[in-house]
Amino acid sequence: MATVLELKRKSLQIRKELLTMIHGAKGGHTGGSLSNADILTALYYEVMKHDPHHPKLPDRDRFVASKGHCVESLWCILADLGYFPQEELATFSQFGTRLIGHPNNKVPGIEMNTGALGHGLAVSVGMALAAKRDGKSYRVFCLMGDGEQAEGSIWEAAMAGAHYKLDNLVGIIDRNRLQISGSTEDVMALEPLDRKWEAFGWHVVTVDGHDYDELLKALRGSPEADGKPTLVLANTIKGKGVSFAENKPEWHHHVPSDDQLKQAHEELDAALAALEGEEERSGTHA
């Protein structure tokens, strides 16, 4: 099992890698990939049952990135785990690559192509229902964006998940409060988001999406309510970890310049150094 400090270090390394990848490709969704990095790190390194050497393992947990445009952090994690060679990250968004700007199921570890928002949860409901009917024990995790909550198909899927009592289904909302057009509350107000999901029959857990103790408790513990799907409402910061990108809507898909990439790496390296000191003081240094 990974320690919280190890998970923090891994997520900082993932952030450095995804920024390098976006900079090299001259395109990508920076802000949301930085905000979801801790959620994905918790899932892939500590919560989900999966095997990079056997990506089609029948009893594997399934992950669907419904907010498929923020795939950069996912590509970095899959490469780090060995689903495909690390060197392939340099081909991101280049002609002929498998690593396009949205999840591509030609890549091991990807369950479905996503991109058009609002589709991932519906497919996740189908996967979870199949597990129930086949007598399988795997769980299905679906990561959604908060701007995506304006899609009607999300609420149809939410209603179906509750109707079929899919307590093997875990929805996660990356609640960074910003979308491409600005604040979610200005574009299409969502609050009270927790009560809306509860009204649709889901068990809702609200967490700090950058706090590993809270994330792990919520994700490991699901389902907490028999016969109900779980919704983890993860409050996050868009652009997390990079000072000039945090809470800036323009960084939804902004590409760092050479100087900005250098500054971002320096900030993340400083955070890594601080973690090293914390590990030494706590006696958990590997």
The CATH number given to whatever domain includes residue 98 is 3.40.50.970
- Quote the pTM value: 0.96
pLDDT at 284: 57
Mean pLDDT by 10 residues, the chain (286 residues): 94 98 97 98 98 97 97 98 98 97 97 94 98 97 98 98 98 96 94 98 98 97 89 98 97 96 98 87 61
Per-residue exposure over 243-261, b if at least 16 CB sit within 10 Å of its own CB, e if not: eebbeebebbbbbbeeebb
Paired residues of 142 in beta bridges: 64, 171
Q: Rounded to an integer, what distance in angstroms lies between the CA atom of residue 71 and that of residue 67?
A: 8
The token pair at 219 is: 């994700």
Domain range holding 156?
Answer: 4-282
pLDDT at 286: 47
Secondary structure letter of residue 147 according to DSSP: G
Q: How far does CA 55 lie from the centroid of its chain?
A: 18
The token pair at 172 is: 């996660």
pLDDT at 285: 52
Strands ordered across the beta sheet of 140-145: 62-65, 140-145, 169-175, 230-235, 203-208
Q: How many domains does the chain have?
A: 1
